[in-house]
């Protein structure tokens, strides 16, 4: 086992990393706010009805929703910086 | 925002903030972060049954994000993770059953609580001493961070157990280990999680490093990969009992997704012993929080 090939010397953290992170935060924050206003607010009531009427279906839908959002958010943040033309810091 | 399922009104920014905080911890240390998220959610007025179930749900999504990022960095041993999941899920059920049977004897909360405190203190102390030793070994013997482990004797003895079938994990650099050892490690971490309520990651990450001999960065990524399945299973079972407010979990995940990526990427700037040293403080925090709760009768 040798040294981890991905290991980076902490002293070599580039300023670019912090800059990219800030850009990612701003874009991500904007998109997330939009998602929150458009989707989550309208989902609240139908999900509550499902919870009251069919707990088994609610459990399945819950798992699908959380997995789906996890996958989508990961993809979203992955592509944000490429989209704005900035080199990723990993 | 009013969360109709749990019947509580909470500022979604605060919830996303909790998610962000535990996301960083989860991505960096490979833990679920329930020891921080749980008390914070409880303080905002979320009923305890919803705290546990909702935290598990958000953990599922967060682990997907963090494990994916660790995978890109080459820090996930999928084969090891999938095998451990089997042991973990059986362990969670066994731990939960033991808890239920102890419930009938009364004062189970006090009993389980103090066991939790003792285990956390042992893990924290062991990791603290080991990581300091490993850092010293790295300096004096000039060996790579992956090879610097303060107590290597345990994993060497484990490799000596030759109960078939033997299995190899090339990603983790393990040429041959008994399948039963891996399943047992999964079972122990699952049983403790099921019995104690929280703490799967606290136990699994050190077990992966010291017992199976997995390098620290891969242990973190693999632990997160495993949490996807174990927390997903927990989400399903708790949802069926009506203990999950999925809307709350989705809002928490908005913060956790970005926090988990920052945490995962930050591991690149730390050596294995340094991560283990920082990790050693987490069990102490968990122990203090539980001890305070037990002593104050909360």
Residue A85 above 60 pLDDT?
Answer: no
Q: Give the model's confidence band at B127: pLDDT under 50 very low, under 70 low, under 90 confident, else very high.
A: confident
Residue B54 burial by Cβ neighbours in a 10 Å radius (0-12, 13-18, 19+): buried
Q: Give the model's confidence band at A2: pLDDT under 50 very low, under 70 low, under 90 confident, else very high.
A: very low
Per-window interface: B 76-135 vs A, CB < 8 A: none
Residue A89: its pLDDT value, please?
46
Residues of chain B found within 8 Å of residue A32, distances taken between Cβ atoms: 16, 254
Residue B110 burial by Cβ neighbours in a 10 Å radius (0-12, 13-18, 19+): exposed
Calpha distance B118→B284 (Å, rounded): 10
pLDDT (tens digit per residue) in B237-266: 889 988 899 999 999 998 888 888 888 888
Residue B132 burial by Cβ neighbours in a 10 Å radius (0-12, 13-18, 19+): middle
Residues of chain B found within 8 Å of residue A44, distances taken between Cβ atoms: 1-4, 247
In chain A, what percentage of residues exceed pLDDT 70?
Answer: 69
Check the CA dihedral B293-B294-B297-B298 and report its sign: positive
Q: Does A53 touch chain B (CB under 8 A)?
A: no
Residue of B7, B170, B261 to mutate, interface with A, max A Cβ within 10 Å: B261
Mean pLDDT for A56-76 is 91
Residue holding tokens 């994993």? Answer: B155
pLDDT (tens digit per residue) in B32-83: 887 778 778 877 888 877 888 888 899 899 999 889 888 888 889 999 999 9
B147/A70 Cβ within 8 A? no
Q: Does B61 touch chain A (CB under 8 A)?
A: yes
Judging by DSSP bridges, how do beta strands B166-169 and B8-9 pair with one another?
unpaired
Mean pLDDT for A23-42 is 78
Mean pLDDT for A19-36 is 76
Residue A56: its pLDDT value, please?
94
Calpha distance A70→B23 (Å, rounded): 12
């Amino acid at each position: 086992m040798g040294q981890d090939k991905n290991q980076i010397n902490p002293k070599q953290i580039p300023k670019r990393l912090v800059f990219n992170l800030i850009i990612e935060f701003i874009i991500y924050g904007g998109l997330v706010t939009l998602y929150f206003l458009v989707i989550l607010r309208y989902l609240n009531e139908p999900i509550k009805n499902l919870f009251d009427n069919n707990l088994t279906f609610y459990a399945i839908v819950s798992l699908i929703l959380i997995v789906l959002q996890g996958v989508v958010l990961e993809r979203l943040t992955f592509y944000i910086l490429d989209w704005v033309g900035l080199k990723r810091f990993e | 925002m009013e969360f109709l399922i749990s019947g509580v009104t909470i500022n979604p920014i605060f919830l996303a903030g909790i998610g962000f905080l535990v996301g960083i911890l989860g991505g960096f240390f490979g833990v679920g972060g329930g020891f921080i998220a749980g008390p914070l959610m409880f303080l905002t007025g979320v009923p305890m049954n919803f705290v546990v179930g909702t935290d598990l749900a958000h953990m599922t999504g967060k682990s997907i994000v963090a494990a994916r990022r660790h995978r890109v960095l080459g820090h996930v041993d999928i084969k090891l993770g999938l095998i451990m999941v089997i042991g973990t899920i059986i362990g969670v059920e066994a731990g939960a059953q033991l808890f239920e049977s102890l419930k009938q004897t009364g004062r189970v909360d006090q009993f389980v609580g103090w066991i939790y405190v003792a285990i956390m203190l042992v893990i924290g102390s062991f990791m603290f001493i080991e990581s300091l030793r490993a850092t010293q070994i790295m300096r004096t013997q000039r060996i790579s961070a992956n090879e610097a482990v303060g107590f290597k004797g345990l994993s060497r003895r484990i490799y000596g157990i030759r109960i078939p079938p033997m299995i190899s994990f090339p990603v983790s650099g393990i040429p041959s280990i008994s399948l039963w050892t891996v399943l047992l490690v999964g079972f122990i971490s699952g049983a403790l999680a099921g019995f104690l309520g929280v703490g799967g990651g606290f136990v699994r990450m050190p077990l992966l490093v010291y017992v199976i001999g997995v390098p620290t960065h891969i242990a973190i990524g693999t632990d997160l990969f495993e949490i996807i399945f174990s927390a997903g299973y927990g989400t399903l079972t708790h949802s069926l009992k009506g203990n999950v407010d999925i809307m709350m979990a989705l809002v928490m995940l908005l913060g956790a997704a970005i926090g988990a990526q920052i945490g995962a990427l930050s591991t690149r700037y730390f050596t294995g012993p340094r991560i283990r040293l920082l990790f050693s403080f987490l069990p102490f925090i968990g122990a203090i929080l539980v001890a305070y709760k037990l002593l104050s009768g909360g």
